[in-house]
Amino acid sequence: MIQFAAHDAGLSLTSRTERDGRVIATLRGDLCVASAPALREHLHNLLRRPASQLIIDLSAVGHADSSGLAVLVASGRRAGLLGGSLRLAVPSPEVARVLAVTGMNRHLDIFPTLRAAMAGQRPQEVEGMAGSRR
């Protein structure tokens, strides 16, 4: 298990690697300009192996701003370039709203539950995320 905490920035990340090689990361706190640089570095470290699949649990994220969303988008692109994927799971209501308002829900794979993200089941619709990429 990897743990990272940007306490001054109000964000923590814990991760675990499943038997099949998937990495499940859980974020807690605020995904914002103060936490974005450290988060970017840690997510890129989790995506070092080719064909990595990274699932990020956003259920405990209370706030996300454009800097935080940029980290998620960049990490998704990096995963794709390496032949892997990035899936977001269980966005909190605030994060779901920000993703929908900014249109990022059309550019990221977002799942309503961690189980759905792990199984790769396409979401029917995440509340507030009607445009979720399918």
Domains in the chain: boundaries: 2-119
Contact status, residue 112 vs residue 87, Cβ threshold 8 Å: no
- Provide the edge-to-edge strand list for the sheet that holds 85-89: 2-6, 11-17, 23-31, 53-64, 85-89, 109-111
Average pLDDT, the chain: 85
Evaluate the CA torsion angle 44, 49, 51, 53 in order and state its sign: negative
Evaluate the CA torsion angle 2, 91, 49, 37 in order and state its sign: negative
| Percent of all residues in the chain with a pLDDT value above 90, rounded to a whole number | 63
Q: What is the pLDDT of residue 130?
A: 45
Q: What is the pLDDT of residue 132?
A: 46
Question: What pTM value is reported for the model?
Answer: 0.85
The CATH number of the structural domain formed by 2-119 is 3.30.750.24
Instruction: Give the model confidence (pLDDT) of 104-120 as tens digits.
Output: 998 899 999 999 999 98
Q: Indicate the residue type of 99.
A: L
Of 15, 32, 35, 11, give the one whose Cα is nearest residue 23. 15
